[in-house]
Amino acid sequence: MRLFERAPAKINLTLHVLRRRNDGFHDLESLVAFTCFGDVLTLDTDAAAGLKVDGPRAGAIGPHEDNLVLRAARNLQAQAPECRAGAFHLFKSLPAAAGIGGGSSDAAAALRLLARAGNINADDPRILSAAAATGSDVPVCLERRARMMRGRGEVLGPVLSLPPLYAVQVNPGIALETRAVFGEIGLQPGEEADFGSHPEMATGLSFDALVSLLRRARNDMEDAASLLAPVIGHVISVLAAARGCKLARMSGSGATCFGLFETRTAAAKAARVIRRDHPDWWTRACVLR
């Protein structure tokens, strides 16, 4: 039996850092949304267990035994032995270490595949438990819908209905380690951040109302990431200068940035211009949900 799942990119429309916990992790508040494209993961339950990776971004993947896909599989099978192991095939299209949750989304796709193969309900608590054990961003990637996430990422708010968000994503080809960006922020264990509260998010907002709320929020990792990779500031400036761009910001811990546009045509035109002027950047127009 061969099954497949899409693993879309996760975009942090906002990302507030609240505090550094005594265990070393950071408590966050973030509004996340997902693209309509990404990696593709296949599971062949009749083949020997393992992982094969190919695709245009396969070279950025580290040792396969450390891949989040296999880690997620091990975590779920430890709790649900009825899950059928098999051969995973990952077609990697998304940049790695890019602030768009590529590895986490791949891991969530692996959990969905194993659940389907083992006839486990998607809302089985063992799925969420395995996701949380695999990585901070994996739980929110399970359902692939816009919502607030808090804590390390394991506290999920209700799914939010957003207006169509036409976006352009740009990655300048710089890989950033999340730990290094948090290190640049420099919070000590137990220390609270005083960057300001997150605006209350509601479902069913108009495009203008949502953008207005997003402008009152921010990505608290953006300045720190820009110190490590100054090109991020240039990418944001390029996006902000594009005709029709309503908001430009970095996603996650970087270095991928995004611009929001009111129409699909404006986003597509902006992406074409950026690709023409910066052919070495990874640039994609997309719709967020």
Which letter does DSSP use for residue 150 in this model? E
pLDDT at 271: 98
Catalytic residue among 10, 39, 92, 220: 10
Cβ atoms of 214 and 13 within 8 Å: the answer is yes
Do 169 and 41 lie in one domain? The reply is no
Whether residues 123 and 27 share a domain: the answer is yes
Reported as a single tens digit per residue, the pLDDT across 173-200 is 999 999 999 999 999 999 999 898 999 9
Kindly state whether residues 175 and 235 are assigned to the same domain.
yes
- pLDDT tens string 135-154: 999 999 999 999 999 999 99
Q: How many whole angstroms separate alpha carbon 278 and alpha carbon 268?
A: 15
**Helix, coil or strand: residue 66:** helix
Statement to judge: residues 119 and 243 lie in one domain: no
Q: What is the CATH number of the domain that holds 266?
A: 3.30.70.890
If asked whether residues 141 and 187 sit together in one domain, one would say no
The mean pLDDT value for 221-247 works out to 98
Boundary-marking domain end, from 129, 156, 183 = 156
Domain identity same for 79 and 187? no
Compute the residue count for the chain: 289
Same domain, 26 and 152: yes
Between strands 87-91 and 50-54, the pairing is parallel
Domain boundary among 111, 131, 156: 156
Q: Which one, of 106, 115, 110, lies nearest residue 55 by Cα? A: 106
Asked if residue 55 and residue 94 are part of one domain, the reply reads yes
92 is catalytic: no
The pLDDT, as a whole number, for residue 63 is 67
The pLDDT assigned to 85 comes to 81
| The overall pTM is greater than 0.75 | yes
pLDDT value at residue 66: 80
Q: Give the count of beta carbons closer than 10 Å to the beta carbon of residue 71.
A: 19
DSSP 198-264: PPPP-SS--HHHHHHHHHH--BTTHHHHHHH-THHHHHHHHHHHSTTEEEEEE-TTSS-EEEEESSH
- In angstroms, rounded to a whole number, what is the distance separating the alpha carbons of residues 104 and 110? 10
The last residue of one of the domains, among 91, 125, 156, is 156
Same domain membership, residue 188 and residue 280: yes
Number of domains, the chain: 2
Q: What is the pLDDT of residues 206-231, one digit of tens each?
A: 999 999 999 999 999 999 999 999 99
Write the CATH number for 92: 3.30.230.10
Q: Per-residue pLDDT tens for 29-76?
A: 999 999 999 999 999 999 999 999 999 999 877 667 789 999 999 999
Distances (CA, A) of 46 to 49, 85, 88: 9, 9, 11
Residues 147 and 43 in one domain: yes
Q: Binning pLDDT at 50, 70 and 90, where does residue 83 land?
A: confident
For residue 1, the model assigns a pLDDT of 82
In the set 39, 44, 106, 137, the catalytic residue is 137
With tokens 């005709």, the residue in question is 243
Distances (CA, A) of 27 to 169, 229, 253: 26, 24, 14
pLDDT at position 171: 98
Residues 20 and 57 in one domain: yes
Range of the domain at 92: 2-156
Give residue 105's pLDDT. Answer: 98
Q: Does 10 participate in catalysis according to the annotation?
A: yes
